[in-house]
Amino acid sequence: MTNFNFQVTPGGPPKFEPSVAVNLLIPGIMCSVAVDFTTGVPLIGLYRSLDGGFSWANTLLPLPPGYTGAEAPVVAYGFPNIFIVTAHVFPGEESGTCVVYRSFDNGATFSPPDIVAPGYGTYINNDETNCYIDTSQSSPYLGNMYVTYNHQFNVENGGNSTAFLNRSLDNGATWQQPVLLSSEADRVERPDISVDLVGKVDVAYVTTSPSTNFVVRSSVDGGATFALGVVVSTVVPVPSPLPVVGWDFRVLTFANISTDRSVGPFTNTAYAVWQDYRLGYSDVFMSKRAPGTNSWSTPVSITGAPANTQNFFPAVDVDPLTGVVNVIYYSNQINGFDLDAYVARSINGGATFTNTRITNASFNPNASSPTPVPLIGDYIDIASVPPGGYIGVWMDTTPGTFTIFAGYSDVVIP
């Protein structure tokens, strides 16, 4: 059964930057998060489904004392009934702090936020958070929690940003000394995390200055230490905003990575996905790494989209039982202005992809605004629903305001 366009959140005040995670033991249980302006200030909305995405219960996660807003949320699942949520919380434009909320009852309740990486005035702002829990079937580090963030320093006087990782070995009760992953001479964007079948950790990030590259660093000891970075590919950054008349929203280029944890012909193959302007328009490219190597393949487009369309905000997840590669992204290929969500899927280790439009109706990224909006969020997300399905989440304006929608499929690709 394929069921698209379930409305996750009510209409009204804006919601954007959705993330989603699935209980691998009971795939009907899903948690999604997004920036939610229901109260008039940005908070983290938590949306929970017990029926595979058909219906969702909505709540808001609290701020730590002294903070006035939150953004950049991501949710991750861990065995048997754990969900964690990371977010960037702040008292203003600076002092951004990375926090984690934890649930041990399948998302029914969450702990108060625990501070993982505090910010300090104009000196340190920890933004663009991400998280992952090791659920790999043969990993000696099963249950390790990993949090990454964009560590912005000297924000007000020409500073820079580096990629950091924190890990927890005790279900998030404590977080160990952070690991600096990138050079202080490079400016980076939001890191992403993946773990292979035996617990090898990959952290990917895009450097934006002095050069633009997709970089991966790997750890074989559960995130304690990392090998030197490997450049997957140079990246031609997309313009921000993209060159479409009537668009004014920013488009940041983030790294996305996922690894095949299934038992099959492509076990431990890693897939790096990003948006790129090398063709003269924004398209989604993929490079892959064979197991046991540090060599990444020549990047290829995976969308099959018409030339000069804009395809952006990709996210990737590999099904841990079947090895199906799932990539969600936005595209304006229907009429050149309105947006749709598409999913690219591969059953042959990324050799070929089938692309499917999963929105029932195209939507105006500006919603009902008479002038172009400057922000629609910076990402959308997808999670595999084993065996062979997926749940995708995106920001949609079909109800007239920024609203979170989901598309669910349990169709197993033959």
pLDDT of residue 410: 77
User: What is the rounded distance in angstroms from the CA atom of residue 304 to the CA atom of residue 161?
Assistant: 34
Class of domain 2-409: mainly beta
Greatest CA separation found in the chain? 55
User: What is the rounded distance in angstroms from the CA atom of residue 205 to the CA atom of residue 171?
Assistant: 25
pLDDT of residue 409: 85
Cα angle vertex 294, ends 290, 300, to 5°? 60
Let me know: does 233 contact 296? Beta carbons within 8 Å: yes
Name beta bridge partners: 148.
130, 165
pLDDT of residue 95: 85
Q: What sign has the CA pseudo-torsion 170, 83, 165, 151?
A: negative
pLDDT of residue 217: 98
The token duo for 283 is 């398209």
Which residues of the chain are modeled with pLDDT < 50?
1
* Other Cβ atoms within 10 Å of 270 Cβ, number: 24
pLDDT of residue 189: 95
User: What is the rounded distance in angstroms from the CA atom of residue 3 to the CA atom of residue 6?
Assistant: 8
Q: Would you list the DSSP string of 137-190?
A: TT-TTTT-EEEEEEEEESTTTT-EEEEEEEEESSTTSS-PPPEE-S-TTSEE--
* DSSP helix/strand/coil, 370: coil
pLDDT of residue 413: 63
